[in-house]
Structure 1
Amino acid sequence: MPSLTGLPLQIIATLVAVAAFAATMWLWPRLGGRSWRSWLGRLGAFFGTQVAVLVAMGLVANSYFGFYSTWSDLLGLDGSPGTVVDHQPGGKAVAVTGEQKMYSAQGSAQDRSGVIQQVEIHGAATGLTGTPAYVYLPPQYFQPAYANTRFPMLLALSGYPGTPEKLISLLQYPASTLKAIEAKELPPTVLVMMRPTLVGNRDTECMDVPNGPQVETFFTEDLPKAMSASYRVDDRPESRAVIGDSTGGYCAVKFALRKPDAYRSAIALSGYYDVHNDPTTGDLFGGSDQVKRDNDLLWRLRNHPGPPVSLLLATSRNEENYGPTQEMVAAFKAPTKLSTITLDSGGHNFHTWTREIPPALTWLGERLAAPGSAPATAAAPGSAAPGSAAS
């Protein structure tokens, strides 16, 4: 069977579409009668041509954007979760597995499933506002046994130009988080779901843009402070982690490598490791080659001391980031710890990422600090505080 993203299949589909259009034009005068056969012939020619054109356009778009890389990925036959492999120079690999189940959070059932709150997060240092954003509070947050407990925090970032709603409906982060908590694979954790862009539709790649928006500072300084002030969230860096797909994955790894006192664990699903200016980003570097290098994650691994963080990079053998991921594996050094999930097949799409999230949360559960004691003045469950408004 020809490759789903290969040029031969696109050429064949295009030729079929052109042939269908030409055949329709040639046959149309012959189908001009009023009989039921003429009506069926016209309908068949019309819809056949439409389907052929849409298939050709879909194949070209899929090849360009990488939504589905294989036929099994398109048909949903690759249903098994990924396997985490820990890497150590000259060391032995350890494998961990997980799985996914469906879940829909209901505010009226907070005692057993938790609550999702829509919030705005205002950055005191940057003046930026994260909206729309969602906070998932696990059921333990409302239980008397945890009344004096501060919880670890996981920041989940969408890709660009994704929305945080898709993190709930398609990637099902609250469902997967709850399942991992119930299986004791993850400590009770507060989940924050956002998109990586904070200034309209500009793709800032989570950078502190010279003379521009300080997006990295918002996510690494403003957000942790706002969450610990508004919720019973632990303010220790080892109690904070970040996960993201595509652009969100790049941001996640960058936060850990550049600001290890903000996040000690980071997970990238189909992430990339360097950025370039394009029409959606504008000028990210202010003309500075040094700024560009500092945001090249492979360059940082090779040229900076290893920070004390844990990284998990997810890829598949037919994704564009497969080769760069292997370079990241080869470049890291202690005390940085690096693990990977490598699927045999997958694509740059939600179906692939839902296979990777469960084992990623299991991996995180072995690294994220457990809930700790909260001071007597801690904010009430789900209450808002200066710098953050919940709605």
Structure 2
Amino acid sequence: MGLTSKKVLVLAVLFAVLLFVATVWLWPRLARRSWPSVGGRVGILLVTQAAIFACVGLAANQAFGFYASWADLFGQETDQGVVVDHAASGSTGPLRVVGTQQVQLAGGSRPQLTGQIQKVDIVGRRSHIASPAFIYLPPEYFQPQYRTRTFPAAVVLTGYPGTAQALISKLNYPRTAQQLAKSGKMQPMILVMLRPTVAPPRDTECVDIPEGPQTEKFFGRDLPDAVAAHYRVDKKPGGWGVVGDSTGGYCALKIAMHYPAVYGAGAGLSPYYKAPIDPTTGDLFHDDKNLKNRADLGWSIKHLPAPDTSLLVTSSRQGESNYKSTLKFIDAAKATNKTRISSIILDSGGHNFNTWKREIPAALQWISARLAER
């Protein structure tokens, strides 16, 4: 059974309950002042507490999508990562569809009514990075009257480590996009959903690491090219959007700022503005000061030429640690003559799925409106 299986959570809860009952039942027998009795009490308490913590951890993982599998949890995931594509040019293409699933809504599940989600494998021709992704195609994509129409597209990123499936099952991006388009609040849009961790388990922070994964190049150039080669996507300058939460929010802002000719709008939900350096990232910059400064969004918005793009940032007055840094970034962006800045500031909201679900509808409408202006 997989880490995210409901059966695993149910079994863990059942095991914890049985241990609790056993503790209550056996405690009188272990009340003696002997070493075996003391050891028994300590042992049964530790096992019971470990079972309870396991239940809490499994429930949190199902709610927030931190790890997708047992291998992912224990850092043993090796089936995806940085690869070199040795296939002959044009032999298979940079994008391959490997499966489909329907968007389940009231009234049916046919693609012409609710759209379709396609699972794909994408290979970057320049970055040599391979990554899985989910592509949401709106209902109009399958309707005969729109067979020659092209659609705007937006990249949707998780946090770290995150799972792309959580963008569908927990944050409800496809369902929200379909409902907003149906009500006329946004234009039909293709969503490219994946996590920024394209070289697992390393957290590359969407940086082109010297002698390492070229993650920014993958998102900035390879990903849009691969999708545009396979789907009917608008190819006008700045015709793409990008949105993400937490680490994905930082990546979304940075990609839009560094590739404004591709991304006309970038939305960071609870973003930070400077790449951290910790055991999950390793050495991202290799003492390259220019690369480090370029990855610092607060520094680059002040010292580099202002990008001609639109940015959206979100935070909360209570519950988010990025509130003050977000206000500083807004002020810095407002001082430029090209970068357009918008914000969503909640009165209260933590760094979690519930907060982002409150912001996603407005963020999608904002991206749709900015791309419509292009």
Residues 272-315 of structure 1: CA distance to partner in whole angstroms, max 9, x if unpaired?
10013211111100111221111000001111222111111011
CA distance in 2, matches of 1:357, 1:294: 27
| Equivalent residue, structure 2, for 1:117 | 118
CA distance in 1, matches of 2:219, 2:290: 22
CA distance in 1, matches of 2:30, 2:209: 64
| Equivalent residue, structure 2, for 1:366 | 369
Q: Secondary structure of the equivalent of 1:287?
A: coil
Residues 20-43 of structure 1: CA distance to partner in whole angstroms, max 9, x if unpaired?
xxxx9xx746979xxxxxxxxxxx
| Equivalent residue, structure 1, for 2:127 | 126
CA distance in 2, matches of 1:291, 1:240: 25
Q: How does 1:184-195 map to 2 (within 5 A)?
A: 184-195=184-195
| Equivalent residue, structure 1, for 2:135 | 135
Given that 1:186 and 1:366 are in contact with CA atoms closer than 8 Å, whether structure 2 keeps it comes out as yes
Letter in 1 for 2:268: A
CA distance in 2, matches of 1:245, 1:280: 18
1:325 equivalent in alignment to 2:326: yes
| Equivalent residue, structure 2, for 1:166 | 166
Offset, 1:50? 5.5
Given that 2:238 and 2:260 are in contact with CA atoms closer than 8 Å, whether structure 1 keeps it comes out as no
Offset, 1:205? 0.4
CA distance 1:31–1:278, shift in 2 (3 Å): closer
Residues 318-356 of structure 1: CA distance to partner in whole angstroms, max 9, x if unpaired?
311111101101111221111111111111111111010
CA distance 1:186–1:127, shift in 2 (3 Å): same
Offset, 1:364? 1.8
How many residue pairs align between the two structures? 296
Letter in 2 for 1:350: F
| Equivalent residue, structure 1, for 2:303 | 303
Offset, 1:150? 1.0
CA distance in 2, matches of 1:277, 1:245: 19
Letter in 2 for 1:279: P
| Equivalent residue, structure 1, for 2:337 | 334
CA distance 1:186–1:283, shift in 2 (3 Å): same
Q: Secondary structure of the equivalent of 2:256?
A: helix
Q: Secondary structure of the equivalent of 2:372?
A: coil
1:231 equivalent in alignment to 2:231: yes
| Equivalent residue, structure 2, for 1:216 | 216
Given that 2:239 and 2:262 are in contact with CA atoms closer than 8 Å, whether structure 1 keeps it comes out as no
Q: Gaps spanning 5+ residues in structure 2: where?
A: 1-23, 33-43, 65-102
CA distance in 1, matches of 2:325, 2:343: 12
CA distance 1:53–1:320, shift in 2 (3 Å): farther
- Note the aligned Cα RMSD (angstroms): 3.2
Q: Gaps spanning 5+ residues in structure 1: where?
A: 1-23, 33-45, 68-102, 372-391
CA distance in 2, matches of 1:306, 1:267: 17
Letter in 1 for 2:125: A
TM-score normalised by length of structure 2: 0.72
| Equivalent residue, structure 2, for 1:183 | 183
CA distance in 1, matches of 2:131, 2:157: 12
Higher relative contact order at CA 8 Å, sep ≥6: structure 1 or structure 2? 1
| Equivalent residue, structure 2, for 1:271 | 271
| Equivalent residue, structure 2, for 1:146 | 146
Letter in 2 for 1:191: L
Stretches of 4+ moved more than 4 A in 1? 29-32, 49-55, 105-108
| Equivalent residue, structure 1, for 2:74 | none
Given that 1:105 and 1:116 are in contact with CA atoms closer than 8 Å, whether structure 2 keeps it comes out as no
Q: How does 1:1-391 map to 2 (within 5 A)?
A: 28=28, 104=104, 108-131=109-132, 133-317=133-317, 318-332=319-333, 333-369=336-372
CA distance in 2, matches of 1:53, 1:174: 36
CA distance in 1, matches of 2:329, 2:168: 30
Letter in 1 for 2:300: R
Residues 241-275 of structure 1: CA distance to partner in whole angstroms, max 9, x if unpaired?
00000110000000111111121100111111001
CA distance in 1, matches of 2:207, 2:373: 30
Q: Secondary structure of the equivalent of 1:117?
A: strand
| Equivalent residue, structure 2, for 1:374 | none
| Equivalent residue, structure 1, for 2:78 | none
TM-score normalised by length of structure 1: 0.69
CA distance in 1, matches of 2:341, 2:147: 35
Residues 55-106 of structure 1: CA distance to partner in whole angstroms, max 9, x if unpaired?
9x979xx9xxxx8xxxxxxxxxxxxxxxxxxxxxxxxxxxxxxxxxxx7369
CA distance in 2, matches of 1:29, 1:226: 67
